[in-house]
Amino acid sequence: MLRGETVGLRARHEEDIPVLRAELYDDVVNSSRADSRPWRPVSPTAEDPRLTVDHQDEETVKFSVVELAGGTLVGGATLWGVDSHNRGAHIGLNLLPSARGKGYGTDVVAVLCRYGFVVRGLRRLQIETLADNAAMLRAAERNGFVREGVLRSSAWVMGEFVDEVLLGLLVEEWQPTSNA
């Protein structure tokens, strides 16, 4: 497990999947805001590619996020679009509603940065988030990410186009926290 100040990133366990599905992906609004693909219902017995881990896929690394204090599942995190040639990747995270507003997002981003830069040897990490996602913008900027641009009206979310903010962090700009 990769440890931060308050959360750990560990392998996805089978018992995590029903919780993540019910609290994150069955929520149409949340799922529509978190995924660039349109929401669609997925049966509880179906293999959901957003939740299951494909160990052959070298470009996507999925983690479950747990509180260090008690081991409670609080969300999911992903390093995706891993490009070993250009040494870059994208960061994504999704916290359960009960875990939001507790500073976990900032800690998850810090741990993903350590994983990307130290473990994977990447040079650049990138985050794309909706312009009104103040929590993700704050978590990214607290970890040193710089706003590089706005993708105007680039995301279709619940009946309207919204802007996305593009943020980037280079390894030489990264300042790891004590645990990360």
Closest CA to 111 of 70, 172, 152, 67: 67
Q: Which fold has domain 2-45+53-173?
A: Aminopeptidase (3.40.630)
- pTM across the whole model: 0.90
User: Average pLDDT in the 16-33 region?
Assistant: 84
Over residues 127-143, the pLDDT tens digits come to 999 999 999 999 999 99
Q: What percent of the chain has pLDDT over 90?
A: 73
Lowest-pLDDT choice from 57-61, 77-81, 124-128, 175-179: 175-179
CA distances from 107 to 18, 41, 76, 88, 179 (A): 24, 31, 13, 20, 10
Phi, psi of 97 (to 5 degrees): -50, -40
Q: Between 104-114 and 134-142, two packed helices, what is the crossing angle to 10 degrees?
A: 50
- Residues 99 and 74 sit within 8 Å (Cβ to Cβ): yes
Please give the pLDDT value at position 173. 97
- Residues 109 and 143 sit within 8 Å (Cβ to Cβ): yes
Q: Is the pLDDT of residue 180 over 70?
A: no
Please give the pLDDT value at position 178. 61
For residue 92, list its beta bridge partners.
Answer: 78
